[in-house]
Structure 1
Amino acid sequence: MTSHSADNSAHISDNTLPGPGGTLLGKAALVTGGSRGIGAATALRLAREGADVAVTYVDGKEAAEDVVRAVRALGRRAVALRADAADADEAAGAVTAAVRSLGRLDVLVNNAGIGVLGPLDALTVSDVDRVLAVNVRGVFLASRAAAAHMREGGRIITLGTCMTQRVPGPGGTLYTMSKAALVGLTKALARELGGRGITANIVHPGPIDTGMNPADGPHAPAQAAMTAVGRFGTADEVAATIAHLAGAAYVTGAEFAVDGGHAA
Structure 2
Amino acid sequence: MSEGLEFDGLSAVVTGGASGIGLAAASLLARRGARVATLDLEPKVPEPLIGIRADVSDDASVRAGVAEAAERLGGIDIVVNNAGIGAQGSVEDNSDDEWRRVFEINVLGMVRVSRAALPYLRRSAHGAIVNTCSIAATAGLPQRAVYSASKGAVLSLTRAMAADLVTEGIRVTCVNPGTAHTPWIGRLLAATDDPDAELAALAARQPMGRLVSAEEVASAIGYLASPDSGATTGTDLAVDGGMFGLRVRPRPASSS
The answer for the alignment partner of 1:204 in structure 2 is: 176
Is 2:11–2:35's contact at 8 Å kept on the other side of the alignment? yes
Find the partner of 2:157 among 161, 167, 185. 185
How many corresponding residue pairs? Answer: 234
8 Å CA contact 2:56–2:112 kept in 1: the answer is no
Query: Residues of 2 paired with 1:182 and 1:190: CA distance?
Result: 12
- CA separation in 2, counterparts of 1:92 and 1:175? 25
Residue 240 in structure 1 maps to residue 219 in structure 2:
yes
Once the two structures are TM-superposed, the CA of residue 141 in structure 1 deviates from its matched residue by 1.4
2:30 — aligned with what? Answer: 47
- CA distance in 1 between counterparts of 2:167 and 2:66 reads 22
- Cα distance, 1:54 vs. partner? 0.4
Deviation at 1:30, TM superposition (A): 0.5
Q: Deviations over 1:56-112 (max 9, x none)?
A: 111x3xxx43x332xx2xxxxx31111111112223332222101111101100000
RMSD: 1.5
Q: CA offset at residue 218 of structure 1?
A: 4.4
Structure 2 counterpart of 1:38: 21
Letter of the 1:160 counterpart = C
Q: Under a length normalisation based on structure 1, what TM-score does the superposition of the two structures give? A: 0.84
Q: 2:131 aligns with which of 158, 170, 173?
A: 158
Q: Give the TM-score taking structure 2 as reference length.
A: 0.87
Q: Contact 1:152–1:196 (CA<8 Å) still a contact in 2?
A: no
Aligned counterpart for 1:255 among listed residues 216, 236, 240: 236
Asked if the contact 2:28/2:219 (under 8 Å) is kept, the reply is yes
Deviation of 1:120 (Å): 2.4
Are residues 1:25 and 2:8 paired? yes
Equivalence for 1:117: 88
Change (3 A) 1:116 1:23: same
DSSP 3-state at the match of 1:201: strand
Q: Amino acid of the residue matched to residue 179 of structure 1?
A: K
Residue 228 (structure 1) shift: 1.2
Q: Which amino acid aligns with 1:27?
A: L
**Alpha-carbon separation, structure 1, partners of 2:69 and 2:104:** 21
Q: Which residue of the partner structure matches residue 126 of structure 1?
A: 97
The answer for unaligned runs of 5 or more in structure 1 is: 1-17, 73-77
**Which whole-Å deviations, capped at 9, do the CAs of 1:197-246 have from their partners, x for residues lacking one?**
11000100001111221497542111111111110111100000101111
Residues 195 and 134 of structure 1, relative CA distance in 2, 3 Å threshold: same
Q: Which protein has the larger Cα radius of gyration, Structure 1 or Structure 2?
A: 2
Asked if 2 retains the 8 angstrom alpha-carbon contact of 1:88 and 1:137, the reply is no
